[in-house]
Structure 1
Amino acid sequence: MSSSNQQQFRYTQTPSKVLHFRNLPWECTDDELIDICSPFGKVVNTKCNVGANRNQAFVEFADLNQAISMVSYYASSSEPAQVRGKTVYIQYSNRHEIVNNKGPGDIPGNVLLVTIEGVEAGDVSIDVIHLVFSAFGFVHKIATFEKTAGFQALIQFTDAETASSARNALDGRSIPRYLLPEHVGSCNLRISYSAHRDLNIKFQSNRSRDYTNPMLPVNQTAIDGALQPVIGPDGKKKEPESNVLLATIENMQYAVTVDVLHTVFSAFGTVQKIAIFEKNGQTQALVQYPDVTTGAAAREALEGHCIYDGGYCFQ
């Protein structure tokens, strides 16, 4: 018997109608497993993408003899079992049935639980998370937090279909390098479904956003940190570019509403969110665009100008 066959099987295990597959291609599907197993009998259950590297799986046959038949065939064959041209190692499982094929994190829902590996809180902004996930549909809400598992985010979509599209496309992938700070190396996303259906966001802040409610109060810490000055190469302070603008409205003669600001700022692109508040006796507003380029264009055009002659001066 060849050494490759000896690596594929462990004969010391008690036969089971559940087989354990190792070294599978990334994101191996149920259909691929059924395709390789069906010549030996009826497959009644599968569990894919398990293990730390998500390259393992379990397959349950209807009958014990069917599982034995598959193990025996590849044990005596000169050709190893393969999926997508990759050698797959097969052994009997120590379980005799697959129970709860779908865990809580595998039941599709409209809210995703995203673990961002390799980063600290603050390395990935909520705006970057929004930019990445909104490519798949309208993002209603985002809440970020720190747990034992690391830096995590809950992301709410309109429906489970949209959330599934985002999960299928991004799970196991990395956030684009140009969106990350220089000190961050790899930044992998591990995504499962959350049991939540509607996130309770009480404030707009650097840790949570509700993109459906422009009138939601803004957390004071978010206001203070919205546009923190940085020191440029010349040693002078300069404002960093952002897709969120902090507008101070001076010389007010009439009340300024969200609708008024939306009319002014939407001339430069889609306005996603506006929040008006009072700080130090001044009226200010946070205006959010979908990207930095649009925000920079609006700021350059409006800073120091008035909505109407003689009033509403933006700074």
Structure 2
Amino acid sequence: SANGNDSKKFKGDVRSPGVPSRVVHVRKLPNDINEAEVIGLGLPFGKVTNLLMLKGKNQAFLELNSEECAQTMVSYYSSVTPVIRNHPIYMQYSTHKELKTDNSPNQVRAQAALQAVNALHGGGMGSVAISADAGSMAGAAAAQSPVLRVIVENLFYPVTLDVLHQIFSKFGTVLKIITFTKNNQFQALIQYADAMTAQHSKMSLDGQNIYNACCTLRISFSKLTSLNVKYNNDKSRDYTRPDLPTADSQPSIDHQAMAAAAFGLSVPGIPSALASLGVGHTGMAAAAAAASRLGLSGLAAAGGHNVLLVSNLNPEVSTHAIKQLYYLCVYGDVMRVKILFNKKENALIQMSDGTQAQLAMSHLNGQRLHGRAMRVTLSKHTTVQLPREGHEDQGLTKDFSNSPLHRFKKPGSKNYSNIFPPSATLHLSNIPPSVVEDDLRRLFASSGATVKAFKFFQKDRKMALIQMGSVEEAIESLIEFHNHDLGENHHLRVSFSKSTI
């Protein structure tokens, strides 16, 4: 029988999941874990047929009704670490093929919990609520749903599905999310494995702000007990079904990438509202922008990680790469750029602070430049070293720290509120009165790109929108024509727009 001896074999947290078995060994559980919560980890993947709790060791063994269910569970949790009350939980297959349990009080409680769940579920989804001390139904939560309805008020900054996933995952495994706008309010439906987790999450998060002084969560129980998600995209996600298509029948999202995107990176030193909700890199960047717009000092820059590693650049254009990477970073002020001597398709970019690095990474990773998808990650370096005097490096390193082109030097700069992901439509500003539409169309077509549409702003002819043939063409046009001299001492300013023409 399984009696916890498996635990002696572990060294550290990262361990291969081992040979598949329908018994899953769960480790690093919080001290106050109850049976219902452990069962809740397995429920989304199939019927839980047995449970052995080793509370003294903060471990448990969970038996599912088939090896296939256990494989789905271990594979899912290997890419999306479950978190219960701020404890990351680790799991892999047990060496045991089934659980044999005795009649000790601990096991009687576990069996009662299992019976209560099975009576409720018939093996499917639904609300589980078992009191930890007796395994009897806790009436208060039993009537509640595992699905929460979330309304975000004071939406000064867009809240993404991934940010919601990060926040709500703090309280248990999020299975599904659907986001929508109703009555001019951004809303979401979020499904947990059981109603107790949903209730705990609701009690902790209701009334909290995602970012300082804005984006307030209003949470209630939904009348629905299960969500039906058809597509995995930026509006809806079923984390138990990585095989679902995106709406426009593109290949389904790679599960590992999806999980990584959803969890982002843990960022040291996130202050105030974000720290308590544990929002990762995309949220961090968004919050910085929101805070700047609101003139809040609460969101200081995250220390450390302000150097980006950009890889998979096109080496044929590496001679121009420094200028390209410098202009491309419309998400912060670039201090230094270094093309790597032995690997010309890789570069290091030092931003002025960690928040700007996070922001650039979240918007530029995966974008195409000169036919290649760029990969942007945080570098382990804290600065980009300049070559020592007398040591030339063929112009592969450039220092921009005193550049007059920095967009974010002033605290609370309005440029923070104009940060958008790369798009085919570009926002142009600082256009002199003598320059007309044809001039700008000709300029942007001169690099071989397609200009699909153009529109001056009615109220202010110093600004215009120009729509290129693709996002990649827009990125290349921004690099080419930002700071272009239009005469009359006017240098063109180019950024990505959220509008279309």
Range into which the TM-score falls when normalised by the shorter chain? 0.3 to 0.5
Higher strand share: 1
Which structure would you say has the larger RCO, counting Cα contacts within 8 Å and 6 or more residues apart? 1
TM-score normalised by the chain length of structure 1: 0.37
TM-score normalised by the chain length of structure 2: 0.24
